[in-house]
């Protein structure tokens, strides 16, 4: 019953075409396309403003104050993967720094999502290695206790299965289950299609009240205008 | 791909014998028996100190400020169930009060775990209906947007599938997947077997250092005694 | 333009009959009767579970670490008043203890609502003087800087004007503007009238789905039942 | 008694000259000029560092997870207005994004202050539309429940009436009641007049102890110098 | 330079007479007698309301998720000691439960102050073993990394040296350095001497404004009474 | 016994050579060189990303809402000092702005570490005066109550003695006791010596698993690879 101390080697990654397509859309759009679910909590923030990630998840379950499993995870990485690291408890220690980033990058990883702390932020920024984390903290970690790699994890309030697509930008982090990646990519595309038009319409002064035909609904709900 | 607006009627509940056995153990013991995983975050607190729950999960995914799905969930309850309510975003509104508790109780539910707020706490306490929540808040809710019932949810940091066993006491809330419920119950029993002995030994003044034979390990790790 | 350093002596308190009537209802009921507004934030908690307050507000604006104005407020208290203390900044110091409580009680005050800390909680509990606060903290305060008494304040997220009715119980704290106190009391009464009936109905097993006739609305919203 | 479901069309905006004058000063200066009151809580942060706002408030009271009223507010905007959005409960959903910003901008609005979340931050930054918010969150909202527009609101701990002047910069957000806007602008000017001089004096090495003649007061208070 | 991996055996405990005398006073009184310093942060709460501690500190520095040092500390305990446990980082895991409590009690310890989590709260309450902690959390810990025992620690914002007196009650936790324990005890006694009188005076309706002769100071500070 | 109201003039600053050497290393490196201790809490953040400090501590103990002692501290500053300001309670008011910064800079101070708020952040950034703080807040302070200068303080969870070396960069803030400054500097240098090599090795694709020879330890701990 215990799913600790496990490394799953063969995981089923989302289809590359779907991942590529998803990489064209923002987190807000994708999350809407999924029915407004799949977001991590908003305390997950990029270590630099331009950070952006779209990749397939290699998951890690960490123990507090211990980054042993990050090294184990490195070996499982394939080009296009993003490491998604959860912890068995709330802990903001600096589980990740420039050396691990160098190693992840060498394996082709495109970024890190971690419900914990990171350090060496200046180096990571210079390396242009995107990280979304709960905290920045210099606190070092040890290598003593087993967690797992590539088991389902809960990271910052979102369920993540290995192989899922994870997209992160300044608006947050969203998880797209592998088996619906293509559908969500298509829905995102559809959703975005008329955004440019809408922006032009609103820029011209048309109100959402009229464009979305909200006046009747508001009146029915009882909205009263007074002077 | 959208798992909102769904009510799953037939769920596979954990075996009753396993649930009954698990009900004999505390949350700390069960969590240890599972390898120190499965806990919700410690902000989940009982509304009264004696609250205790052990039941099979009927899950609910709520929308912020909206408790429509709680009414939908009521119909799916069977005796021995515990309602586990998550929300699509952080929200502490009072989704639950004495009337819903009356309804849940009439269906045989044994309690509520909610990553949100509850109200009518005086009544709930008098009814002896155990609730573990993130907050107590009088804030009322509406009934306007669909969530789901009996889909997998993340509640207070823990993944919960419908039918899982959820145990809650003053130490917190733990989720035992239905398919390992019996194993975990057995492991909990084994773990608890010698607790009484241990307590007597420590009460007599024997140190954990000696009982657990820690001295050698500590010395090897470099522990120095100074005066 | 500066409203610091002011004590307003003559304030218009809500009608006593309205206050008395409001005292019969819980915070959740009153807040609903007002249209789901008027609540303080849920971090405001009673120092003991049975604490309950219903009175007319004498407001205080404190400076951080300074309880001078609490003494000034004492003189403005009339029987039936509740002191509502806000602070110019977030501060959890212990602005209030057993001596001030004794003084407030001697003036006829029925309790304290404070967006800050209190101390001497054991004494306050034994005196049965109800307090709702943001924190319990032994930290002492000084008497050096002017705030104000009986000016409009924002306390724990709610606007409070002197003379407003403030009701507090284990579900939270609600503020009823003086000029609508009677209306809100009446609406609360109407709301509570059929609660007893409802409870009996739900206890008998009738579902909210049927009692509130929700099934059609849910179906129209697209709710799907699956097996 | 219910102030929900209301849109007030004619509001009395602060005098334009006063607003213009206030726009020359920083938030810290204005708040001091008012006697150290009027600030929102420091969790309100700009979405980009250079964001700066000075305008007259059009207020919005939102419901959790629902941005319907933002569209209603758009119609009430006049050039020079800033939207100040509060919520009936704590909620960090993304109530606002690039399309609403386009609409607000088309109406002449100069920015948004929101005790909630926003999204499309990259677009907002590129549009140079200043926003101060509690959170950045991709979480989408619905349009189902009435709030109000242009009623008094409490936003991030500050009372805001429609027409008040709201100034925001990297130090925070301050609210100046419309009827004292000119006085506060004048007091701010007076306060700032000798700042340049002071800076030169302190740069030359003169101590505040001497410049502000603090030594006597400190000695009287009992300050002891030891070696 | 490294003070990890150390156990100091001979510590200088505060004088027993001073400890005994301090045990007669509340935390608020003692903290005032010290000049309003020495308090831990208010997030430190008793696990049951009646918990009260006064003892000499045996300090522990824990590593996150690791309670090895608690066992090491047990051996250093003498009757009248209180264990004060800090952690090298923020961590709310359940470092302490009924077995350790049994062991500590067998050594004569009078309680635990821990800037972390505890579990088995029902047992601890039945044992009447007082604990003040940051959290209650069932999360188990390991025994893998060295911390220290009886080095100076920062616990919940307060500096604690081994042998210091630590007093805890429902108002919080205060630390009295061993070398001033007698002085502080005497000052606490002096402070409390006339509290009974004061309470009677305030109960009779005398105002603090008059008793403390505040009116002149308030007037001088500019307090204005308006009608 | 009271250590409030004290200014210690002669403090023993860490050796300049050691300070200079420490200035070459990052906070993460130094903290590791000390055995993973000495860090302040991660809520301490720079007001601008490039902020970096290395200097000898002049400590200040502030009272809430009161910055009087900052002026007293200014006189005690020598070139190369960093002001480390703690507060007797949690308070985020803006204790520090551009005028004090000008004064501190004139005395040769190299930065400020404050467990509180600061303001005039735009000016401070333009002055290139580095500050690490808990908050940015325009809230002004008064000058009424004594704290102390150059006594030991607890700042953001770290013990700081006057004269200690404090290093701050984007990863956080670390405190190096004066008497071990040279040792820590040497250990930091040793630690950093082979970092460049390591980075090259990891960049070439060598795994930490192999470089650090972790495979055996992991296997012994029970790590299982599954497909």
Residue of C nearest to F87 (CA): C65
Pairing of strands E165-169, C53-62: unpaired
Q: What is the DSSP string of B39-94?
A: BPPTT-EESSTT--EEEEEEEEEEBTTB-HHHHHHHHH--TTEEEEEEESS----B
From first to last of its 227 residues, chain F has per-residue pLDDT tens of 568 999 999 999 999 999 999 999 999 999 999 999 999 999 999 999 999 999 999 999 999 999 999 999 999 999 999 999 999 999 999 999 999 999 999 999 999 999 999 999 999 999 999 999 999 999 999 999 999 999 999 999 999 999 999 999 999 999 999 999 999 999 999 999 878 889 999 999 999 999 999 999 999 999 999 99
Taking Cα atoms as reference points, which of E36, D154, D42 lies closest to residue F93?
A: D42
The answer to whether F79 contacts chain D (CB < 8 Å) is: no
Provide the 10 A C-beta neighbour count for residue E194: 10
Provide, as residue numbers in chain B, all residues whose Cβ is less than 8 Å from the Cβ of A2.
34-35, 37
pLDDT of the residue at E1: 57
pLDDT of the residue at C1: 57
Q: Do A2 and B34 count as a contact with CB atoms less than 8 A apart? A: yes
Q: Mean pLDDT score of chain C, rounded to an integer?
A: 97
Q: Mean pLDDT score of chain E, rounded to an integer?
A: 97
The answer to whether A121 contacts chain B (CB < 8 Å) is: no
Q: Do D64 and B93 count as a contact with CB atoms less than 8 A apart? A: yes
Q: Can you point out the beta strands (E) in chain E?
A: 6-8, 45-46, 53-62, 81-87, 111-118, 131-136, 148-149, 153-155, 158-160, 165-169, 172-176, 224-226
B5: left (phi over 0), alpha (psi -120 to 50) or beta: left
The answer to whether E61 contacts chain A (CB < 8 Å) is: no
DSSP structure class, residue E164: -
Helix axes B98-106, B68-76, angle to 10 degrees: 20
The answer to whether F193 contacts chain E (CB < 8 Å) is: no
**Touching chains, D (3+ CB pairs < 8 A):** A, B, C, F
Angstrom distances, CA of residue B136 to CA of B71, B202, C32, D86, D92: 20, 39, 16, 21, 19
User: Which tens digit of pLDDT belongs to each residue from A206-220?
Assistant: 999 999 999 999 999
User: Which tens digit of pLDDT belongs to each residue from A27-71?
Assistant: 999 999 999 999 999 999 999 999 999 999 999 999 999 999 999
CA distance, residue E133 to nearest chain C CA (Å): 14
User: What distance, in Å, lies between the first and last C-alpha atoms of chain E?
Assistant: 66
Q: Mean pLDDT score of chain A, rounded to an integer?
A: 97
Q: Do D92 and A28 count as a contact with CB atoms less than 8 A apart? A: no
Taking Cα atoms as reference points, which of E202, E200, E183 lies closest to residue E30?
A: E183
Residue C2 has pLDDT above 80, yes or no: no
H or E segment and range at residue E191:
helix E181-193
Pairing of strands D81-87, D53-62: parallel
Residue C133 has pLDDT above 70, yes or no: yes
The answer to whether E143 contacts chain F (CB < 8 Å) is: no
Mean pLDDT of A197-204: 94
CA distance, residue D211 to nearest chain C CA (Å): 22
pLDDT of the residue at A148: 98
* F near D: at least 3 beta-carbon pairs less than 8 Å apart: yes
Give the number of beta-carbon pairs within 8 Å between A and B.
Answer: 49
Mean pLDDT of D22-38: 97
Cβ B84 vs Cβ B57: under 8 Å: yes
% of chain C residues with pLDDT over 70? 99
Q: Do C71 and E31 count as a contact with CB atoms less than 8 A apart? A: no
Residues contacting residue C84 through CB under 8 Å, at least 6 positions apart:
C57, C58, C59, C60, C113, C114, C153, C155, C160, C166
pLDDT of the residue at E27: 98
Q: Which of B170, B204, B205 to mutate to test the interface with E (most CBs of E within 10 A)?
A: B170
User: B67: which 2 tokens?
Assistant: 């408790």
Could you say which of D10, D75, D99 has the minimum Cβ distance to residue A202? D99
Residue E146 has pLDDT above 90, yes or no: yes
Helix axes C195-203, B98-106, angle to 10 degrees: 20
User: Which tens digit of pLDDT belongs to each residue from E156-176?
Assistant: 999 999 999 999 999 999 999
| Calpha distance C196→E110 (Å, rounded) | 49
Could you say which of D4, D36, D184 has the minimum Cβ distance to residue C37? D4
Provide, as residue numbers in chain B, all residues whose Cβ is less than 8 Å from the Cβ of A90.
41
CA distance, residue C64 to nearest chain D CA (Å): 12
Q: Do E208 and C74 count as a contact with CB atoms less than 8 A apart? A: yes
Residue C78 has pLDDT above 70, yes or no: yes
Map D58-81 to HEC letters. Answer: EEEEEECCECHHHHHHHHHCCCCE
pLDDT of the residue at C193: 87
Mean pLDDT of C52-62: 98
Q: Is the dihedral of CA D78, D81, D82, D87 positive or negative?
A: negative
Cβ C2 vs Cβ D187: under 8 Å: no
Q: Do F75 and D27 count as a contact with CB atoms less than 8 A apart? A: no
Q: Do E28 and C75 count as a contact with CB atoms less than 8 A apart? A: no
Mean pLDDT of D87-99: 98
The answer to whether F4 contacts chain E (CB < 8 Å) is: yes
Taking Cα atoms as reference points, which of F64, F9, F54, F23 lies closest to residue F192?
A: F23
Residue D141 has pLDDT above 80, yes or no: yes
**D119 - beta bridge partners?**
none
Residue C3 has pLDDT above 70, yes or no: yes
Give the number of beta-carbon pairs within 8 Å between A and D.
Answer: 105
DSSP structure class, residue C47: S
Residue of F nearest to D45 (CA): F136
Q: Mean pLDDT score of chain D, rounded to an integer?
A: 97
Residues contacting residue F103 through CB under 8 Å, at least 6 positions apart:
D202, D207, D208, F71, F74
Provide the 10 A C-beta neighbour count for residue E63: 26
Q: Mean pLDDT score of chain B, rounded to an integer?
A: 97
Torsion of CA D207, D210, D216, D219, to 10 degrees: 20
Q: Do A65 and E139 count as a contact with CB atoms less than 8 A apart? A: no
| Calpha distance C208→B69 (Å, rounded) | 11
Residue of A nearest to F36 (CA): A140
Taking Cα atoms as reference points, which of C2, C84, C51, C59 lies closest to residue C172?
A: C51
| Calpha distance F225→C149 (Å, rounded) | 69
Taking Cα atoms as reference points, which of B131, A141, B214, B44 lies closest to residue E138?
A: B44
User: Which tens digit of pLDDT belongs to each residue from C158-195?
Assistant: 999 999 999 999 999 999 999 999 999 999 999 998 78
Taking Cα atoms as reference points, which of C54, C66, C59, C44 lies closest to residue C20?
A: C54
Nearest 5°: phi and psi at F90? -70, 125
Could you say which of E63, E93, E144 has the minimum Cβ distance to residue A89? E93
Pairing of strands B6-8, C224-226: parallel
ipTM: 0.96
Residue of E nearest to A89 (CA): E93
Residue C46 has pLDDT above 60, yes or no: yes
**Touching chains, B (3+ CB pairs < 8 A):** A, C, D, E
Residue C126 has pLDDT above 60, yes or no: yes
Q: Do B65 and D142 count as a contact with CB atoms less than 8 A apart? A: no
pLDDT of the residue at A196: 80
Whose tokens are 């008011």? That residue is F93
| Calpha distance F39→F52 (Å, rounded) | 15
Q: Is the dihedral of CA D101, D105, D106, D108 positive or negative?
A: positive
| Calpha distance C178→C164 (Å, rounded) | 4
The answer to whether A89 contacts chain E (CB < 8 Å) is: yes
Could you say which of A39, A198, A212 has the minimum Cβ distance to residue D139? A39
Angstrom distances, CA of residue A58 to CA of A75, A157, B131: 10, 17, 36
Q: Can you point out the beta strands (E) in chain B?
A: 6-8, 45-46, 53-62, 81-87, 111-118, 131-136, 148-149, 153-155, 158-160, 165-169, 172-176, 224-226
User: B206: which 2 tokens?
Assistant: 């024997």
Mean pLDDT of B120-139: 98
Length of chain A: 227
């Amino acid at each position: 019953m215990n799913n600790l101390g496990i490394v799953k080697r063969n995981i089923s990654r989302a289809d590359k075409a779907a991942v590529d397509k998803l990489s064209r859309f923002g987190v807000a759009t994708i999350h809407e396309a999924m029915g407004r679910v799949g977001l991590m909590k908003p305390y997950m923030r990029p270590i630099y403003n331009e950070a952006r990630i779209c990749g397939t998840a290699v998951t890690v379950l960490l123990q507090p104050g211990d980054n042993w499993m990050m090294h184990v995870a490195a070996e499982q990485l394939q080009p296009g993967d993003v490491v998604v690291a959860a912890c068995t408890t709330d802990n903001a220690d600096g589980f990740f720094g420039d050396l691990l980033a160098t190693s992840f990058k060498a394996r082709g990883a495109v970024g890190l999502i971690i419900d914990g702390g990171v350090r060496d932020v200046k180096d990571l920024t210079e390396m242009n290695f995107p990280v979304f984390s709960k905290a920045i903290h210099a606190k070092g970690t040890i290598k003593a206790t087993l967690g797992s790699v590539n088991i389902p994890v809960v990271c910052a309030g979102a369920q993540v299965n290995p192989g899922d697509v994870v997209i992160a930008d300044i608006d947050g982090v969203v998880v797209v289950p592998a088996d619906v990646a293509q559908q969500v990519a298509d829905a995102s595309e559809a959703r975005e299609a008329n955004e440019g038009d809408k922006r032009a319409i609103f820029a011209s002064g048309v109100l959402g009240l009229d464009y979305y035909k909200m006046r009747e609904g508001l009146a029915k709900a009882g909205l009263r205008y007074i002077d």
